[in-house]
Structure 1
Amino acid sequence: MGLMKCPGPDALGTPLDAEPAYLSVLSYNLLAPAFVRPVDLRTGAVQPFAAFEWASTEDLEWDLRRKRLLKQLESWRADVICLQEVQFEASPDGSFLLPTWLQGLENYSACIPAEKYLTLIAERNERVLANRVAIGCAVLFRRDRLVQPDEEGLRGDPNTLVSACLQGCPESPLAALGKTAFFSVHLDAQSEEKRVEQLRKCLERARALGTRHVVFAGDLNTECRPGSCIAAFVSDEAPSDEDMVRECASALRIVGGEDGDDEVPVSSKETAGGDGEPSSEQLEQWRLLWQKAAQSRSEHRISLSRVPTGPTRSAYDHGKSEGPCVTWRLDHILHSSDTLQLHQLWTTLEADDAASASGLPNKENPSDHLPVAAVFQAISHHGRGFGV
C-alpha cells in the first residue's frame, strides 16, 4: 500500500497526541554539549563544523538549550521519540545512564546503547576531544500506549543504531499496531558505504527481532536524493546517469568535511578529482554500492517509504567560514509502507525563512537540527497480521 495522500503539513511543534488512534513518531538530533566548539586534538583547533560561527554563545549554552529541549519534548507528547546525540551520564560505578533531564519525561521508557559501545565512544571522545563522554542514540516510548512484546534480544545495540521492538498496548487506541521495530539512527557523516552498511544492519536486526515492519528515524547524514545509495532503500525507480554522477561527486566532496567515527587524517582520504567530477572507477564503485542498497529490500523482504520532510539543518556551506547559510535535508523518517500509512507530518525549514538564513541553533530552536515528526495509521493485514 502506498502513502496516503495527507493534507498539508502541520506547523512544527503541533502536539502529536491529538488523535489517539494514530501512532506518532518524532526524531531529534539534540546536539550533544560536548560537540559544541571542542578543540580537536587531531588538529589542535575547533573543527569548522563544530565552531557554529553563525550562532551566539547564549544560543549554544547547554543549560538553556537543555531546558528548551525538555519543554519541547514534554509538550509534543510523541508516542515514539528517536533521539540522536544524547550525552549519557556516568554513574558512580562507571556505567552510563540516560541523562537525568530525560529521565524527567513522565510515562516514557527508554532503550539505550549497550554499555560496551558507550564505553568505546567515551574512549574515542577522550582521545579526540579530551572529554570522556558517551554520546549516542536512544529510543523513548510511551508505556501507556506501547509495550515491548519480548525484551529478550533487545540489548546489545551500538551507539548509532538503537532499536526498540514495540506493539500497541492491548485495549488501547493503538491496539492495531503489531510488532514493529523502531530504530533511532545516526548514520556516518563521511562514508556512503558505511551508511549503506548501517541501514543493512538495521534490516537484519528487524528480521532477527521477528518482524518485517520497521521505522527508521534519525540523522541519516544524506539528503536522500535520487542517485544516492541511501535513496535506493526506498525507491524502485532507477536514477538517471546525471543523478548518479551528481550524488557520487557530492559524497566525495564531503569526505573529511564532517566528523566521522574513524580517526584517519583528512589528507589520506580519497576525494573527487580537481574538476569535481568522479573518475570512472569511482562512479563504477558507486553504482555497485547503489545496487547493493537496492537489493536489500528484496533480500530482507522489507518495503520502505520516506516521509516527505524538508530541510532540517542550516549552517555555512561545506568549506566556508562565512555566510550565507544554506540548508540540508539530513533528518528523515523511513517506514514500512504496507503497515503504516502516513496521516500527517510537520513542516521544517521550508516554513522558517529566518532560521534558514541565520543558521541553527537560535533562540527558538535549541539544536543545530530541526526535529522531524510524522503521524501514522496502523494497517493490519487481514490473514497475516504483522508476521514475518
Structure 2
Amino acid sequence: SKRTTRISDQTRQTIQNAVNLIISTPCLRHPNISHSACHRINSELMSSSSLVSSVLPSPPSITAPHVVTLPFGSVLSSSLSSTSDPSSTVTATLSILSINLLAPIYVRPIDSRTGCIQPFAAFEWCQDSDLDWEYRRPALLDILRRGDADIVFLQEVQYEAENVDMDVEGEDKYVLPEYLRDFAKDMGYLEILPAMVELTQMAERNKRVLRCKLPVANAILVRKNKLEVIPATEGKNLKSTTAVSALVRPVATSSSPPCLESVKEFNPVFVSCLHLDATSEEKRVATIVKCLTRAREMGVRDVILGGDMNSEIRIGSGLASLLGRGCFGGDADGLYNLQDTNCEEDGNGGDGASESQMLAECASASRLTSSTEPTEGQVVLWRKLREQGKNCVTRNRMHLRRSPSGMTRAAFDHRCNNDESGITDTATKMGAWALDHLLYTPGRRLTLCAAWETLEGVGNTLETGLPSRKNGVPTDHLPVAAVFCVQAGKLKGNGTGIVNQLQTQREEERRRLGILDSEIEQEEAALADLESNVETKAVHDKTQCLPPNQPGKKSKKRKPKKARPSEATIFLKRAGREKRRALIAQFSKERAEIVQGLSMEDADEMEDMIGSGTGLWEWVRMGTAKRCNNKPSINI
C-alpha cells in the first residue's frame, strides 16, 4: 500500500478487486491477514487515485430474506399479534438479546499459573477508562434496558456469594450480582441460573487461578408477563456454567387477541444461552449437539441458541455441519438424506464445503501455520467431527440457521503481531471476528424478523477495538439481538394418510418376513429329515455289529451327547440369517423412501405418532421407535 502512487491504474484496480474478493469470501483470507487490514489496503488504493470510486463492500455476513436491520441498541419490539380473522394463524414476536458482560475479574488479572497477565486479558489497545467497572456497569444496564428484550442471554456474569444455612453449614450460595438482581426485579424478569454445584466448582477454579473465589457463568432472564417457563423433566435442561437452557412459550395477556384462548396454543421453544469453548472445536460441536438432542428428547423442534460461541462458523468448520447449506449462500436449506450420512464431495458435512475449505478449517482449528498442512490423522478426526454434526441434524430432523451478523469482537490479532513485525499503530494491529451468534431452527414455527447491526455500523470500533467508551460499547463483545415471529398451533399434516402408510408398510413387512421365515423353516426341516434318516440307518447298522449282552451284567445307560450340527445345517442357518438381514435392510430403504417423500409437516406428524425424540430415525433404521416423555406410540 506504500507504493500505490507508483502503480498503474490497471494494476491498482486488479489489487482492489482481489482485496474485495478476500473481504467478501472469508475462506480465501490468509489466517494472518485480518479483516480490518483488508479494509486499510482498500482505503489506500481508493485514496491514491480519483479514478477508483467504488464503494467498499460490507464485510461478510449471513443474509436472510425479509430481515430488518435495526440500529445497535434500539428497542426490540415484542407483542402478541394476529389478523382480525379469528380463524387465522395466531403469532407472537419473541425478542432475544445476548451479551457477554466481560466479568471484572477477567480484566487484566494476574494468572497464578504464569505469574503474569495473559495476552488475551491484557487489553493493550484499551485505555483504563474503557475498562473502568464504574463506567461499564451502568453502561451495560443501559443497553439491557434500551433493548427491552423478552429473553436476555448473559455470559461472563460474575456471581456474588451469600452465606446461608444450606445442607452444609456455612456453604456459599451464589446469586446474581446486586445490579442484575435489581434490574431483573424492576423489569419483571425470571432468573434461570446454573446448578449450584457447577457454580461452586467454577468458584474453586477461579480461586486457584485468579485468587478470587467467585464463579463466572451464564444466566438467562425471561420476561414473566410475556413468557411462561415450562418445568422440564429432571436432568433434561442444561445447567452448566457455560450452557443454561429453558423451555418457554408466549402467554396470553389482557391485550391478547380474542382468538388466543389459551397459552397452550403456542408450542414450547427450547432456548439456550451458550459460552462455547475458546480452543476446542470438538467441545463446541458436542455442546450444540447436546442442545439439539435435549430439545428432541423433550418433544420440542423449535430451538434458539445464542451467545459467545468463540467461532466464526465458517464453511468447512465443525459447527457449520450443523447449519443448512442455504446459510452460506448456496441452495435452499434442506435436511440430509436419511440413507446417506457420508457425503465425501462436501467434506462430510451439510454446509456444501469443498475439500479445500474443509482442509483450511481443519488447519485453522489445529492452529497450524499458513505453510503447514494438517496431517492425515487430523483430517480423519476432522471428518468424523463433521459427520457427528451432520448425523445429529439427520437424526433429529433439525438444522440451524444464523441470524444475520457481522463482526462482534475487535482486538489485537496476536497471530500476526510480534516484535519483529515493526508494527506500532493500534489500528494496524487490530483484527475483527464474528464470534457471537443467534442460531435458530427455521422452517417450522420460528421466523426471523429483525436483528441488530454489528460492529460495521457502530462508530469506528473496528479501528479502536472493544471495549470502547468513545463508541458506547462497554464490553469486549458487541451484543447481538434479534426478533422472531412464533406461530401458534400445531403444524397440520395428513394424519389419516400417514396412519394408513404406517399400517400398510408394517403389514407388508410382516407378510414378506413371514414368507421368508416359512421358507427357511421348510428348508431346515427338509435337511433335518434327511439327516435323521441317514443317522437312523447308521445306528441300525452299528447295532447289528455289536455282540449280545452277557447274562448277569447290566449295560450302562449313558446320556447321549448333543451332536454338533452338521456342516450342511450350519451353512443353511447362516444363509437364512443373511436372507433375513438383507430383507430387513430392504425394509429400511423402503421406509427411508417413505420419509423422503413426506413434507416437513407430515414427517413431524409421523414422528409424533411413532414416538418423539429420535423416533423417525429409529423407525427408518429398525422399524421401531423409542418412547420419550411417556407418550403413547401407535402399534407399528
TM-score, L = length of structure 2: 0.55
| Alpha-carbon distance, 1:185 to partner | 0.2
CA contact (8 A) 2:93 2:486 kept: yes
- Is 2:180 the counterpart of 1:102? yes
Match of 1:14 in 2: 74
**Contact 2:173 2:196 (C-alpha < 8 Å) held by counterparts:** yes
**Within-5 A mapping of 1:1-388:** 5-17=65-77, 20=80, 21-93=92-164, 94-105=172-183, 106-150=187-231, 153=234, 157-171=239-253, 172=256, 177-235=266-324, 236-253=350-367, 272=368, 275-319=371-415, 320=417, 323=426, 324-337=429-442, 338-352=444-458, 354-363=460-469, 364-380=472-488, 381-383=490-492
Deviates more, 1:40-49 or 1:146-155: 146-155
Of residues 369-378 and 166-175 in structure 1, the stretch that sits farther from structure 2 once superposed is: 166-175
Equivalence for 2:629: none
SS of match in other structure, 1:148: strand
Note if contact 2:276-2:309 (Cα within 8 Å) is conserved in structure 1.
Answer: yes
Are the equivalent residues in 1 in contact too, given 2:237–2:294 (CA < 8 A)?
A: no
Query: Per residue, is there more strand in 1 or in 2?
Result: 1
Distance, in Å, in 2 between the alignment partners of 1:115 and 1:155 is: 14
Residue segments in structure 2 that go unaligned for 5+ positions in a row: 1-62, 81-91, 165-171, 325-349, 419-423, 494-600, 613-636
Match of residue 257 from structure 1: none
Conserved? CA contact 1:160–1:186, under 8 Å: yes
Give the superposition deviation at 1:238.
2.5
* Contact 1:4-1:341 within 8 A present in 2 as well: no
Supply the distance in 2 between the matched residues of 1:278 and 1:152 (Cα, whole angstroms).
43
Q: Bigger CA drift: 318-327 or 95-104?
A: 318-327
Partner of 1:258: none
Measure the CA separation in 2 of the matches of 1:128 and 1:84: 19
Partners in 2 of 1:329 and 1:54 — Cα distance? 19
Taking a change above 3 Å as real, the CA distance of residues 349 and 202 of structure 1, as seen in their structure-2 partners, is same
Post-superposition shift, 1:208? 3.5
Deviation at 1:205, TM superposition (A): 2.3
Matched residues in 2 for 1:365 and 1:37: separation? 18
Tell me the distance in 2 between the aligned counterparts of 1:45 and 1:27.
Answer: 31
Q: Relative to 1, partners in 2 of residues 1:349 and 1:273: Cα closer, same or farther, differing over 3 Å?
A: closer
Q: Distance in 1 between matches of 2:134 and 2:266?
A: 37
CA distance in 2: counterparts of 1:23 and 1:135, whole angstroms = 27
Counterpart CA distance in 2 for 1:301 and 1:139 is 26
RMSD value, Cα: 2.2
Q: Which has the higher contact order (CA 8 A, sep 6+)?
A: 1
Question: Deviation of residue 367 (structure 1)?
Answer: 0.3
- Determine the C-alpha separation between the residues in 1 that align with 2:492 and 2:277: 39
Amino acid at match of 2:403: V
Supply the AA of the counterpart residue of 1:97: V
Give the deviation of 1:139 after TM superposition. 0.9
Quick one: distance in 2 between partners of 1:357 and 1:4? Answer: 27
Cα contact 1:273–1:279 (8 A) shared by 2? no
1:330-358 deviation digits (Å, cap 9, x = unpaired): 00011111221011111101213510111
- Residues in 1 aligned to 2:288 and 2:237: alpha-carbon distance in whole angstroms: 18
SS of the equivalent of 2:312 reads coil
Instruction: Kindly indicate which of the two structures has a greater share of residues assigned to helix.
Output: 2
**How far did residue 8 of structure 1 move?**
4.4
Deviates more, 1:160-169 or 1:58-67: 58-67
Q: CA deviation at 1:73?
A: 0.6
Kindly state the Cα deviation for residue 370 of structure 1 after the two structures are TM-superposed: 0.3
Shift of 1:112: 0.7
SS at match of 1:370: coil
- 1:263 is matched with which residue? none
Displacement of 1:300: 2.2
CA drift at 1:301: 2.7
| SS state at 1:95 partner | strand
How many correspondences in the alignment?
Answer: 368
- Indicate conservation of the 8 Å contact 1:39/1:129, yes or no: yes
2:76 and 2:148 in contact (8 A); partners too: yes
Report if aligned partners of 2:78, 2:95 keep a CA contact under 8 Å in 1: no
2:475, 2:411 → 1: CA distance?
12
Matched position secondary structure for 2:460 = helix
1:248-287 residue CA offsets vs partner (Å, 9 max, x unmatched): 111122xxxxxxxxxxxxxxxxxx3683321222122111
Amino acid of the residue matched to residue 220 of structure 1? M
> What SS does the corresponding residue of 1:189 show, helix, strand or coil?
coil
Give the drift of 1:151: 5.4
Q: 4+ runs of 1 displaced by more than 6 Å?
A: 384-387
Measure the CA separation in 2 of the matches of 1:114 and 1:68.
Answer: 28
Distance 1:200 1:246, change over 3 A: same
Cα distance in 2 between the residues matched to 1:162 and 1:148: 13
Contact 2:67 2:448 in 1 (8 A): no
Aligned-pair identity in percent equals 39
Residues 187-246 of structure 1 deviation map (CA, whole Å, 9 limit, x = unaligned)? 000000111111112122223333122110011110011011111111233311121122
Q: Which amino acid aligns with 2:414?
A: H
**Residue 275 of structure 2 aligns to which amino acid in structure 1?**
H
Letter in 2 for 1:160: T
